[in-house]
Amino acid sequence: MGTPVVITGMGAITPVGIGVDTYYHNLIEGVRGIGRITRFDASELPVQIAAEVKDFHPENYMSKKLTKEMDLFMQYGYAAAEEALADAGLSVESPDDLPVAPERVGIVVGTAFSGLATIADTQNGLSTGAHSKVSPRFVPKIIGNIAAAQISIAKGFRGPSLTVTTACSSGADALSTGMMLLASDEADVVLCIGTEAATCPINIMGLASAHALSTYNDEPETASRPFDSSRNGFVMGEGGGCLIIETEEHAKKRGAHIHASVIGWANSTDGYHVTAPHPEGIGAIQCMKRCIDKAGISVSNVDYINAHGTSTPIGDVIETAAIHSLFGDHARKLAISSTKGATGHMMGAGGIVEAICCVKTIQEGIIPPTMNLQTPDPNCDLDYTPNKAKRQPVHIAMSNAFGFGGQNSSILLGEYHS
């Protein structure tokens, strides 16, 4: 794949825990982060459940001034970046103290909805007469690129700053874009961030109208049921994740701790439909195959897949069929799970947070479970690690993220060998 790339920092803000270790520990313990919506009155909505981040205190990560200037999706990304920077040994008081030139530090943020919740809330206030003015902070709070800009400003980073929005694959595509920046020598270190906070009435109503969301309002904890025969849609989640990547040579030169290697990445488009995946999964198959080919490995070398597995009736079957098609006989030997049974669908944040799960799975040798999988769909006939984590060595893990518009993104992560 060219220059070896490694992960040196990780950060996670999720519905099942804040901080990478807490997030992963709660995943393998079967903690579920879905409940009744608390952020606003959802009692009149067709869907009244979501996976909200709990006990998040932004002032623990940023100044009071910044909390007022940033939308919640930005705050999640910023907090995840703070943890990742500390983990990577890049959390310093001044850019002058960085072990890398500030102009060689890049940032890529992936988000599907940017500041949608703030837009909706502001418009509602104007429409109802609750207020007659719009804050001068409004535009910088809602446009996607300011999430990266705020980190750059606070930390003094002056490298490339990009924002990608490819629906539910946005986070994974942030990592892919970061890989491109390293490959083209545009940066030595890249913060790859996925972040989302779009739980608001208009978004819920829109997705509910499209029959995308689970309607198990009275059973919130078990509403997200990837690969189960009773699944009826995904549960909206939120949060942020950050992976810091750099070339192996650069990381070793500065003495960084290395978590894992990024050995493959790929993107593709179905070219089929704005919301439905291609019925034969051709985009997903192409994406996973290209990712494996880039890594220079065989399908039999993959030990674990963190599936996109959103709990939609169509998507889960098509992803299963795509895995069968590409992996052949090895498909039944794979350990697979969808962590969305616990976290809900974190949208643009999911690709990064689920890649972090893959790194931890490689490090710990514990496969996180697919929660709420009680009655498997006959068309979903692989080993999805139902309801209980299992110990198993994992050397290479794949993370899939597929989104509206036929966006597909796959990442391959490998155990690091110095």
Structure tokens given for 111: 């988000």
Tell me which residue has tokens 């710990």: 364
Determine the Cα–Cα distance for residues 378 and 89; give it in Å rounded to an integer.
48
Among 345, 357, 358, 380, the active-site one is 345
Q: Which is nearest to 39 in space by CA: 238, 215, 311, 240?
A: 238
Q: Where are the beta strands (DSSP E) in 15-135?
A: 17-18, 35-36, 49-50, 105-110
Kindly tell me the burial class for residue 399, based on how many C-beta atoms sit within 10 Å of its own C-beta (0-12, 13-18, 19 or more).
Answer: buried
Q: Reply yes or no on whether 308 is catalytic.
A: yes
- 123 Cβ partners below 8 Å, 6+ apart? none
Contact present, 164 and 108 (Cβ < 8 Å): yes
Q: What angle do CA 115, 347, 277 make, to 5 degrees?
A: 125
Among 168, 200, 287, 380, the active-site one is 168
For the CA atoms of the chain, what is the radius of gyration? Answer: 20
Among 250, 259, 278, 308, the active-site one is 308
Q: Reply yes or no on whether 25 is catalytic.
A: no
Supply φ then ψ for residue 192, to 5 degrees. Answer: -105, 115
Give the H/E segment covering residue 206. Answer: helix 201-209
- 225 Cβ partners below 8 Å, 6+ apart? 214, 231, 311, 341, 372, 373, 374
Contact present, 13 and 26 (Cβ < 8 Å): no
Q: Reply yes or no on whether 330 is catalytic.
A: no
Q: Give the 3-state secondary structure of residue 105.
A: strand
Enter the DSSP assignment of 168: G
Q: Which is nearest to 362 in space by CA: 294, 411, 297, 290?
A: 411
Determine the Cα–Cα distance for residues 32 and 35; give it in Å rounded to an integer.
9
Catalytic residues: 168, 308, 345
